[in-house]
């Protein structure tokens, strides 16, 4: 069995039927991480107990216990997710020594399903970024071209998955952080409907937008992972009571008669020619498969980026207020603590603990929320957000799934945009409106640039319509011209 390219189900079945031990699987991927990650920097820390935990799983299998649908499947977890006993830094110095005493709901559910956590994955600091260049743990490199960014903020997840250092990874998506790096690294990334997946134990960036999801190598693996992590959670009152569908079992490539919406506002040109071609190819493919192409319009998406940055920064400024150096996390070095006034304590600790981009967002958000500006910025952004959602709801009366580019261009060079925040924020032009409207969205690999960089296609569906979106992705995947292509690093 070729473990490196095996799917989640293939690994789990082989482990459960004792064709291979969970220990062998864990060792195989541990060796890959050791020999390849030096070039990528996708792991921020490794789980030194991984092989031992795999052995414990083998022992349970030997005793005839039911170990779950993901028995022995090696996973990498983004730094945003609390993992009991493993560092959870959010890519920030301010949490450099933080080791949570509990698992986030998502991680607890995956563990119950049998995964083996191989380690934590690098990301932009507090998930703020589109290039994985703002991490306290350093830049992550794109396995397809080591001079390029892997995208962000879940850049470590995307790079590790594309290089097959693990069989599955988790990411978070507040404004595109699962879909954009998935596109840049040629993997499948899904952001579920807001409320589908519990946020309990995930470090909060912008709570009304944050959602966790799988970043994996196939649509089926994504559907399976979503089944494990989704569903109501007592610890998160925003999770839905709806039951979790068996997406993976219902997956079909038959898209005959399905209505694929092309958003007028997203089809205005300005795309990199290779991205344009990838989108056109995907439309042609779906047409040939019998899908109907219809035009839809969501005019307000034009302002999605500014609205997103107002909402996200405001919520971030409030969420990040908890990092004060008192209860946990980094504290500036004070010789004589009793002689320090509180303001100095906070400002020195936070001044040293947060990176530049995070400070920029905190200041922007604090400004938006301050009296006198609250109505003009935060409130107004909330109102426009509602309009964006209403327009989407109208659009989904005419189509099942909306298809578009994920980003205007493929992965860019490391260092190219980091000193220009506005250019960096424009990366999020096609992804943020999905979060503002609370809709599910995903990226599926469908093209390759002239330079050999992967390009994904974005699919968005109505609230809780993940099945439709996954089906279209499954159809595209089955006909993808880049199927089976892997980066050189592998």
As annotated, the active-site residues are: 78, 153, 177
| Residue span binding ligand GLN (CB under 6 A) among the ranges 3-11, 167-175, 294-302, 449-457 | 167-175
Tokens 């709570």 belong to: 207
Interface with ligand GLN (CB under 6 A), residue from 133, 173, 315, 477: 173
CB 291 within 8 A of CB 258: yes
Name, in order, each residue with C-beta under 8 angstroms of 22's C-beta and a sequence gap of 6 or more. 15, 54, 55, 57, 58, 61, 71, 72, 116
What is the DSSP secondary-structure string of 252-265? ----TTPEEEEEGG
The CB-of-478 to ligand GLN minimum distance in angstroms stands at: 28
Alpha carbon of 434 to those of 138, 188, 343, 356, 388: distances in Å? 29, 17, 39, 27, 9
Give the Å distances, CA to CA, from 379 to 10, 366, 369, 374, 384: 49, 13, 9, 6, 9
Q: Using DSSP bridges, classify how beta strands 454-461 and 401-405 pair: parallel, antiparallel or unpaired.
A: antiparallel
477 contacts ligand GLN (rule: CB under 6 A):
no
Least gap, CB of 30 to ligand GLN (angstroms): 28
Whichever of 129 and 143 has its CB closer to ligand GLN, that residue is 129
466 is an interface residue for ligand GLN by CB under 6 A: no
Contact flag: residue 127 with ligand GLN (CB under 6 A): yes
- Region binding ligand GLN by CB under 6 A among candidate stretches 39-47, 125-133, 249-257, 438-446: 125-133
Least Cβ distance, residue 453 to ligand GLN (angstroms): 19
Interface of this chain with ligand GLN, residues 402 to 461, rule: CB under 6 A? 428
Residue 118 in the binding site for ligand GLN (CB under 6 A): no
The size of the interface with ligand GLN (CB under 6 A), counted in residues, is 13
* Nearer to ligand GLN among residue 78 and residue 463 (C-beta): 78
Q: Between 26 and 188, name the residue whose CB sits nearer to ligand GLN.
A: 188
Looking at the Cβ atoms of 61 and 320, the one nearer to ligand GLN is 320
Choices 25-33, 126-134, 227-235, 250-258 (CB under 6 A): range interacting with ligand GLN: 126-134
Q: CA dist 361 to 95, 128, 227, Å? A: 18, 8, 34
Site string for ligand GLN, 302-341 (x = CB under 6 A): ----------x-----------------------------
Q: How far apart are CA 207 and CA 484, in angstroms?
A: 37
Q: Say if strands 168-173 and 211-216 run parallel, antiparallel, or are unpaired.
A: antiparallel
For residue 153, state whether it binds ligand GLN (rule: CB under 6 A).
yes
The residues facing 142 across adjacent strands are 145
Nearer to ligand GLN, 129 or 355 (CB): 129
Contacts of 391-397 spanning 24+ positions with Cβ under 8 A = 391/297, 391/298, 391/299, 391/300, 391/301, 392/298, 392/433, 392/437, 392/439, 392/462, 393/462, 395/261, 395/263, 395/296, 395/297, 395/298, 396/261, 396/461, 396/462, 396/465
Report in angstroms how near the CB of residue 159 gets to ligand GLN at its nearest. 16
Other beta carbons less than 10 A from residue 88's beta carbon? 25
Cα separation, 174 vs 436, in Å, equals: 9
Angle of the 50-62 helix axis to the 22-40 helix axis, nearest 10:
160
Residue 299 DSSP class: G
Task: Choose, by CB under 6 A, the member of 174, 225, 407, 443 that binds ligand GLN.
Answer: 174
Residue 248 binds to ligand GLN (criterion: CB under 6 A): no
Task: Decide the pairing of beta strands 259-263 and 292-296.
Answer: parallel
Given the complex with ligand GLN, which of 53 and 428 has the nearer CB atom?
Answer: 428
Among 176, 186, 261, 447, binds ligand GLN (CB under 6 A): 176
DSSP string of 330-376?
-----S-GGGS-HHHHHHHHHHHHS-HHHHHHHHHHHHHHSTTTTII
253-312 binders of ligand GLN (CB under 6 A)? 312
3-class secondary-structure state, position 216: strand
Q: Which of residues 3-62 bind ligand GLN (CB under 6 A)?
A: none
Choose between 16 and 78: whose C-beta lies nearer to ligand GLN. Answer: 78
Of 177, 183, 225, 317, the residue at the interface with ligand GLN (CB under 6 A) is: 177
User: Quick one: 133 or 227, whose CB is closer to ligand GLN?
Assistant: 133
Site string for ligand GLN, 185-224 (x = CB under 6 A): --------------------x-------------------
Alpha helix positions (H), 142-205: 155-162, 179-185
Residue 125 within binding range of ligand GLN, rule CB under 6 A: no
The nearest distance, CB 467 to ligand GLN, in angstroms, is 24
The first and second tokens of residue 112, run together, are 């119950």
Q: Which stretch binds ligand GLN (CB under 6 A): 171-179, 274-282, 377-385, 477-485?
A: 171-179
In angstroms, the CA 135 to CA 138 distance is 5
| Binding interface with ligand GLN (CB under 6 A) | 127-130, 153, 173-177, 205, 312, 428
């Amino acid at each position: 069995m070729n473990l490196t390219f095996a799917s989640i189900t293939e690994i789990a079945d082989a482990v459960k039927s004792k064709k291979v031990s969970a220990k062998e699987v864990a060792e195989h991927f541990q060796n890959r991480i050791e020999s390849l990650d030096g070039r990528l920097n996708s792991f921020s820390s490794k789980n030194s107990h991984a092989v031992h935990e795999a052995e414990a799983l083998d022992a349970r299998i030997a005793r005839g216990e039911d170990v779950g649908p993901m028995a022995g499947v090696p996973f990498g977890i983004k730094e945003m997710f609390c993992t009991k006993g493993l560092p959870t830094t959010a890519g920030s110095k301010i949490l450099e020594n933080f080791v949570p005493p509990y698992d986030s709901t998502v991680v607890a559910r995956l563990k119950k399903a049998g995964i083996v956590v191989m380690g934590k994955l690098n990301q932009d600091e507090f998930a703020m970024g589109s290039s994985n260049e703002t991490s306290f743990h350093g830049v992550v490199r794109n396995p397809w071209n080591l001079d390029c960014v892997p995208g962000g903020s879940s850049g470590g997840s995307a790079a590790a998955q594309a290089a097959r250092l693990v069989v599955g990874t988790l990411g978070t998506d507040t404004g595109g952080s699962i879909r954009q790096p998935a596109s840049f690294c040629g993997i499948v990334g899904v952001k579920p409907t807001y409320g589908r997946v519990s946020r309990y134990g995930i470090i909060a960036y912008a709570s009304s937008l944050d959602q966790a999801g799988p970043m994996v190598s196939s649509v089926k693996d994504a559907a399976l992972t979503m089944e494990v992590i989704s569903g109501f959670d007592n610890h998160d009152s925003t999770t839905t009571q709806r039951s979790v569908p068996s997406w993976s079992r219902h997956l079909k490539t038959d898209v005959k008669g399905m209505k694929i919406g092309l958003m007028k506002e997203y089809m205005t040109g300005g795309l990199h020619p290779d991205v344009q071609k990838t989108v056109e190819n995907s439309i042609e493919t779906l047409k040939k498969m019998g899908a109907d192409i219809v035009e839809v319009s969501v005019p307000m998406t034009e302002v999605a980026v500014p609205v997103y940055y107002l909402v996200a920064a405001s919520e971030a400024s409030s969420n990040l207020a908890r990092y004060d150096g008192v209860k946990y996390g980094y504290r500036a070095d004070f010789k004589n603590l009793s002689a320090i006034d509180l303001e100095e304590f906070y400002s020195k600790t936070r001044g040293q603990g947060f990176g530049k981009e995070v400070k920029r967002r905190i200041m922007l958000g604090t400004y938006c929320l301050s009296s006198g500006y609250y109505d003009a910025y935060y409130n107004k952004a909330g109102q426009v957000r509602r309009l964006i959602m209403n327009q989407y709801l109208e659009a989904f009366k005419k189509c099942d799934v909306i298809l578009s580019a994920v980003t205007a261009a493929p992965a860019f060079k490391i260092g190219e945009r980091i000193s220009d925040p506005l250019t960096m924020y424009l990366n999020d032009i096609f992804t943020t409106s999905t979060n503002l409207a609370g809709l599910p969205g995903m990226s599926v690999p469908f093209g390759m640039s002239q330079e050999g960089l992967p390009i994904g296609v974005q699919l968005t569906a109505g609230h809780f319509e993940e099945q439709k979106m996954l089906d279209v992705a499954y159809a595209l995947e089955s006909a993808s011209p880049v199927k089976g292509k892997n980066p050189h690093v592998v």
